[in-house]
Structure 1
Amino acid sequence: MANGEDGCCLKDVLVTFQSCLNDQQEILMDPYVAGWKGLVRFLNILGTIFSFVSKDAVAKIQIMENYRSSDQKDQYSTLHSMVKYELASNLVDLKKPGDQPPSGCRTILRLHRALRWLQLFLEGLRTSSEDSSASALCTEAYNASLAKYHPWIIRKTALLSFYVLPARNTFLELMNVGTPADAVAMLEEALPSIVKVYDITEALYAQHNLLDIP
């Protein structure tokens, strides 16, 4: 497992999510994607254990960047404008992806689900005792979020890979913000931003019956 020597500080990544919301509490697409780019860098620091998330996230980030550089880029400036535009234009793949590129709604939903896993895992690290197992915390977070959306082989591979995670305090040191106590304090400050972005996305998707796009 790699260390945080390349200078990727998770605090900087999480703070990016604080800039995701405009005055109308709508999620701005560019900061959201930037936040995910940072999360991918952080996951890559931890080694190949989380590649089942990071590789998929990279593909989804590219799809959203393509939408943001297309002729319809203004329609994708916020999550709310994207949902309104794609639904009105019948672009959302509500049954299964066809020959056309995955919709922005489907793409963000995959990132949204992964964000829930990461939120639960980091929250577990923040609130657990010093002798807790990062492996157990990660497994619990995965089973409560992403597991139900993954086929059996991916679930099995992911759960096996979690066994090599280090002790909780060692993992917290990988966050490159100082001592484990410093990392806990950082998470306490920064995690509410991810929670807020997640909750707004969840409510928007629920409102439009988009939470189960295949």
Structure 2
Amino acid sequence: MASTEEEFSLKEVLIHFKSCLLDDDKDVLLEHYLNGWKGLVRFMNSLGSIFSFVSKDAVSKIQIMENYLKGESGERYRSLQSMIEYELSGNLVDLTQRSGHPDSGCRTLLRLHRALRWLQLFLEKLRISSEDSKTSTLCSEAYNDSLANYHPWIIRKTASVAFLALPVRNKFFEVMNVGTPEEVVDMLGEALPYVSKVYDFTEEQYSQHNLLNLP
């Protein structure tokens, strides 16, 4: 796995999430999905330890998924649909936390999927925000509308305190290594629709198979 210490590139994230979508947006290629996530981890890590409560978990989930991709059944994990079909048909999904498959691909990817919603909402709020908008407020709003629903109280409390240390909007834009704030806004406008398409398709697939609430 690529080092999370590499410099973050918003353009790289755009390319990977754009490459995720297969056959007129009818499937998601997991290798590109994971590569897009590695870029998002670099984004979180570039801001220090503020997002470590998410980034550390994301790194472990990415590793689990990459191990599946490299394993004997790697071809079954090439896309989202093939993974779901393979794991469900083989009873490899831990539907009740009793079947002995706590790190199934479906469960592992669901955790990344939930975190992706938070980052998607936060980056969209950043994109449409004004220069004097408080990033801590934007981030908290995005978190409360997404990932907070799956976190225990102590993590939610830790997150709310961590967000207070977030840098100002223009500092965020510098981290994205794109150029001027206007250029960052333009690239976010190009990238986020692809992230949204990937998120929406994944949500639809999990919903169809009753997997959105895996323990």
Tell me the TM-score normalised to structure 1 length: 0.94
Quote the offset at 1:126 in angstroms: 0.5
Task: Name 1:10's counterpart in structure 2.
Answer: 10
Q: CA deviation at 1:136?
A: 0.4
**Counterpart in 1 of 2:21?**
21
- Contact 1:15–1:193 (CA under 8 A) maintained in structure 2: no
Residue matched to 1:176: 177
Residue 104 of structure 2 aligns with an amino acid whose one-letter code is S
Q: Which residue of the partner structure matches residue 104 of structure 1? A: 105
Q: Distance in 1 between matches of 2:172 and 2:118?
A: 16
C-alpha contact (below 8 Å) 1:135/1:163 kept by paired residues: yes
Q: Deviations over 1:179-203 (max 9, x none)?
A: 2111111100111110000000000
Mapped to 1, the partners of 2:195 and 2:21 lie a distance apart of: 11
Q: How many residues were matched structurally?
A: 210
Residue of structure 2 equivalent to 1:92: 93
2:41: which partner in 1?
Answer: 40
Distance 2:92 2:35 in 1: 24
| Root mean square deviation, CA, Å | 1.5
Task: Report matched runs for 1:146-157 at 5 Å.
Answer: 146-157=147-158
Map of 1:49 onto structure 2:
50
1:46 Cα deviation after fit: 1.1
Deviations 1:97-147 (A, max 9, x none): 654451100000000000000000000001111110111000000000000
Q: Determine the structure 2 residue equivalent to 1:144.
A: 145
Greater shift in the superposed pair: 40-49 or 199-208: 40-49
Amino acid at match of 1:57: A
Distance in 2 (CA, whole Å) between partners of 1:54 and 1:114 is 9
Deviations 1:43-63 (A, max 9, x none): 111110011111000110111
Deviation of 1:6 after TM superposition, in Å, equals 5.8
Identity level (%): 64
Output one character per residue of 1:21-80: Cα deviation in whole Å (capped at 9) or x when no partner.
121521011111111111111211111001111100011011101111111111111010
Q: Distance in 2 between matches of 1:184 and 1:22?
A: 26
Give unmatched runs, 5+ long, in structure 2.
Answer: none
Quick check: 2:93–2:101 contact (8 Å CA) kept in 1? no
CA contact (8 A) 2:10 2:176 kept: yes
Is the contact between residue 147 and residue 155 of structure 1 (CA under 8 Å) also seen in structure 2?
yes
Assess, with a 3 A threshold, how the Cα gap between structure 1 residues 97 and 51 changes in structure 2: closer, same or farther.
farther
Does 2:140 align with 1:160?
no
Counterparts of 1:116 and 1:9 in 2: how far apart (Å)? Answer: 19
Q: Is the 8 A contact 1:91 1:103 kept in 2?
A: yes
Q: Structure 2 length as normaliser, TM-score?
A: 0.93
**8 Å Cα contact 1:33-1:61 kept in structure 2:** yes
* Counterpart Cα distance in 2 of 1:11 and 1:140: 25
**Structure 1: segments with no counterpart, 5+ residues:** none
Q: How does 1:56-95 map to 2 (within 5 A)?
A: 56-95=57-96
Of stretches 120-129 and 95-104 in structure 1, the one that deviates more from structure 2 is 95-104
Shift of 1:148: 0.9
Q: Return structure 1 stretches of 4+ with deviation > 2 angstroms.
A: 5-8, 97-101
Which AA in structure 1 matches 2:23?
A: D
